[in-house]
Chains A and B, each alone.
Chain A
Amino acid sequence: MDLDIQCEEMSASRWTELKSSMNTSKTVRLDDCSLSASHCKDIGSVLCSNQILTELTLNNNELGDSGVELLCKGLLTPSCNLQKLWLQNCNLTDASCKHFRSVLSAKPTLTELHLGDNKLGTSGVKVLCEGLMDPNCKLQKLQLEYCELSPDNCEMLCSALRTKPSLRVLNISNNKLGDAAVKVLCQGLMDPNCNLQSLHLENCRITAASCGDLSSVLARKPSLTELSVGENKIGDPGVALLCQGLLNPNCKIEKLWLWECGISPAGCKDLSQVLSTKESLTELSLIGNGLGDPGMELLCQGLKDPKAKLQALWIRECGLTTACCKSISSVLATNQTLRELHMGGNKIGDAGVEILHEGLMNPSCNLRSLWLGNCSLSAACCGSLATILSSKPSLTELDLSNNSLEDEGVKKLCESLKHPNCKLQQLV
């Protein structure tokens, strides 16, 4: 039994209703429901009595530190078996952290803690990490985005990485860390005890200077399958360093997010090599980099290699035009693993769609999801799009938002939606 409510203000009677549902639910989600500290007393009681409750999400409610204190009391009862706790954007400060420390030290059942968007600060996170270090703590996922961490916090996170083989996912994106702190973190990541699978360091003020250390981690740790360094100005030099590690046979990377990293056509050469050799790589995001047509053509060379097993490619807003569509089309015609292609925000125009049409129609093409929002399209390309919709049952998602398709174009598309071969589930 699940309780899942979002964006609903709770009247007193509604809350009473919900209290009884909460007592028998396995997961409770009350996102943005104008809850406050007073509701936490009741939720605390639920945590005491409901032994099957495994997941509690209370994001976007102004619970405050006093609310958290009440929740943690409930969490600490021996019969409470909560595994996953989400308290993002709940107006928490460092004062909440001692309560989290107590919970982390006492509850080996807690495997996920998501605290993003709370001003925990350097001292708060230090206290939190004390709990993390407790031998009883078996946390697997820790999310501290936008928590006002500072470089100092990386010492303790480094220790946590060294001593917690249970830790699989660490997300500290959007904190002012810098290269020196990331280097310290990498020391922890290199530890034989460290089994981290997913690392998110988006917008952490990283430059090419720490990419060497990240590269060494990639080369040493087959467990690290997801890395995101989006929104850090690492540039082509940074990408070149990362690719060295990525190309190491030990590296089993699956998801790589390099959005808004300041990559230019020059950086695409190294990435192309990774695409043509890393069979494990299934998802690549290069959104918001000035790849341009020359850069895209280099990437396509890599994508045509039989070893390329990429499933999702995100190249939104990469400065592409009609000129590179021929290369993309030939990739679509040969690569059978690609499921998702997000290329909105590139001025490919109707001519670009006509060229892509050829590759899309190829029997080898198994694309499920195609995003062409804001691509300077008009009604003129809707004929081609319509034939694709009527011929490709694999295509379930098509985004054409922010294009001037007009009634005429939309009509053509709607006609093809009626075709038996069209299995489109979402048309935007």
Chain B
Amino acid sequence: ETKGTPHTSYSQFLRQHVDNPKTRAPNDRSYCNLMMQRRGMARPCKHTNTFVHAPASQLRDVCGRAGRPVGRNLRNSNNRYRITICRLASGSTRPPCNYRGGSSTRRIRVACVRGLPVHYDRNL
């Protein structure tokens, strides 16, 4: 991940990983196809991306009392969140991107800089 100032990285984090309430779509596959495009991750097709359906304030808290440090600037969330994981279906890497989607409720791991989440590391 490129490191901008914490502020620009935080807005990128919101753009790439936060969708609350979850945008309506016929199914998770359509959800992913729409959202990856809308949030600018479809040129080229980003292989995998997770959207968290929780308020940004809750995710900021993961960088504080709602999370625990796990080395470097990474933190695991104490709570579980509703997420949708989008993975590129293996046919295409050039647009139009075709994704597979799956919903889940998981704890998450993010990187925090000056109290703000700036990077989505993984689902736990």
Contact = CB atoms under 8 A, between A and B. Distances in A.
A342 B93 contact: yes
Contacts of A287: 90-91
Contacts of A238: none
A317 B3 CA distance: 27
Interface string B63-90: 0000000000000000000000000011
Interface stretch (B9-17, B30-38, B109-117): B30-38
A171 B2 CA distance: 38
A60 B34 contact: yes
Nearest to B2: A410
Contacts of B34: 32, 60
**SS of A interface (majority):** loop
A7 B38 contact: yes
A7 B89 contact: no
A6 B37 contact: yes
A260 B90 contact: yes
A100 interface: no
A3 to B, nearest CB: 18
B90 A317 contact: yes
A202 B91 contact: yes
A23 B87 CA distance: 39
Interface string A361-396: 000000000010110000000000000000000000
A24 B38 CA distance: 27
Contact of A314 (B37, B47, B89, B93): B93
A228 B98 CA distance: 15
Nearest to A59: B96
A344 B47 contact: yes
B44 interface: yes
A230 B37 contact: no
Contacts of A402: 47
Given A228-B91, A285-B91, A314-B93, A117 B44 contact: no
B24 to A, nearest CB: 10
Q: How large is the interface on A (under 10, 10 to 19, 20 to 34, 35 or more residues)?
A: 20 to 34
Interface string A341-353: 0101100000000
The residue in B2, B26, B37, B93 that gathers the most chain A C-beta atoms within 10 A of its C-beta is B93
Contacts of A428: 44
Contacts of A230: 90-91
Contacts of A278: none
A358 to B, nearest CB: 26
B51 to A, nearest CB: 16
A399 B44 CA distance: 10
Contacts of A407: 3
Contacts of A317: 90
B96 to A, nearest CB: 9
A38 B38 CA distance: 23
A231 B90 contact: yes
A368 to B, nearest CB: 13
B72 to A, nearest CB: 10
A7 B37 contact: yes
A314 B47 CA distance: 14
Contacts of B46: 401
A344 B93 CA distance: 11
Interface string A86-110: 0001010000000000000000000
B30 A117 contact: yes
A79 B46 CA distance: 42
Nearest to A374: B47
Interface string A280-293: 00000101100000
Contacts of B33: 89
B41 to A, nearest CB: 11
A212 B38 CA distance: 42
Given A31-B37, A89-B26, 18 more contacts: A32-B37, A89-B33, A91-B26, A228-B91, A231-B89, A231-B90, A257-B91, A259-B91, A285-B90, A285-B91, A287-B90, A314-B93, A344-B47, A371-B93, A373-B47, A401-B47, A402-B47, A428-B44
The 10 closest A-B pairs by CB, nearest first: A287-B90, A259-B90, A288-B90, A7-B38, A230-B91, A260-B90, A259-B91, A202-B91, A257-B91, A89-B30
Interface of A: 6-7, 31-32, 60, 89, 91, 117, 202, 228, 230-231, 257, 259-260, 285, 287-288, 314, 316-317, 342, 344-345, 371, 373-374, 399, 401-402, 407, 410, 426, 428
30 contacts: A6-B37, A7-B37, A7-B38, A31-B37, A32-B34, A32-B37, A89-B26, A89-B33, A228-B91, A230-B90, A230-B91, A231-B89, A231-B90, A259-B90, A260-B90, A285-B91, A287-B90, A287-B91, A314-B93, A316-B90, A317-B90, A342-B93, A345-B47, A399-B44, A401-B46, A401-B47, A402-B47, A410-B2, A426-B44, A428-B44
